[in-house]
């Protein structure tokens, strides 16, 4: 999957939603390879617009991730009905899991709630093998960070 960040302002604009949907209708094979990332703060601030945006593009085959989860106005309650495929656990928790018991439990609990609500989890800031090993032991689905791979140009990553 190719992950694309979408701003809070963009998800509130019907014209942007229609623009993206139009492009995906012209190139349907691309849709199943795209995952749009929306920050937790933007999703909560514009909950109904975010739902419309997500549902419209999911119908075309796109995936969605709730980015920076745990740093905004987190409410586990809305996760039951929020139609995202992934929870991206904020790196501010992940980078401290080796030495911070509270951060470790935050990561563990977000992962458990994510799985209970049918979402896969991605841990940001997986900077070394020690962190990746701990994440693997917790059952985190995916890791993102220099411990996995340094960022790649889109042309190389997609090819």
pLDDT at 74: 61
User: DSSP class of residue 6?
Assistant: E
What whole-number percentage of the chain has pLDDT above 70?
Answer: 92
Cβ neighbourhood burial of 157 (10 Å; 0-12, 13-18, 19+): exposed
Do residues 140 and 123 make contact, with C-beta atoms less than 8 angstroms apart?
A: yes
Q: At what angle do helices 47-58 and 14-26 cross, to 10 degrees?
A: 10
Least confident range from 64-68, 100-104, 133-137, 152-156: namely 152-156
Q: What's the CA dihedral at 124, 45, 1, 86 to 10 degrees?
A: 60
Q: How confident is the model at residue 68 (pLDDT cuts 50, 70, 90)?
A: confident
Quote the distance between the C-alpha of residue 97 and its chain's center: 19
> Residue 114 has which token pair?
């994510």
pLDDT tens digit string along 88-135?
999 999 999 999 999 999 999 999 999 999 999 999 999 999 999 999
Q: What is the DSSP string of 112-138?
A: HHHHHTT-EEEES---SHHHHHHHHHH
* DSSP annotation of 76: H
Q: How many CB atoms lie within 10 A of CB 137?
A: 9
């Amino acid at each position: 999957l190719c992950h694309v960040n979408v701003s809070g302002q963009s998800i509130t604009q019907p014209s942007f939603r229609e623009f993206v949907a139009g492009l995906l209708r012209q190139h349907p094979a691309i849709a199943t390879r795209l995952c749009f990332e929306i920050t937790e703060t933007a999703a909560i601030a514009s909950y109904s617009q975010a739902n419309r945006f997500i549902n419209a593009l999911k119908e075309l085959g796109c995936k969605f991730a709730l980015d920076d989860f745990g740093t905004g106005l987190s409410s586990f309650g809305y996760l039951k009905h929020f139609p995202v495929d992934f929870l991206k656990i904020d790196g501010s928790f992940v980078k401290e899991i080796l030495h911070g018991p509270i951060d470790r439990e935050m990561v563990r609990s977000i992962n458990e709630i994510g799985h209970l609500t049918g979402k896969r989890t991605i841990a940001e800031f997986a900077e070394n093998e020690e962190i990746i090993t701990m994440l693997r032991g917790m059952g985190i689905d995916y890791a993102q960070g220099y411990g996995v791979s340094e960022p790649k140009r889109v042309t190389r990553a997609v090819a």
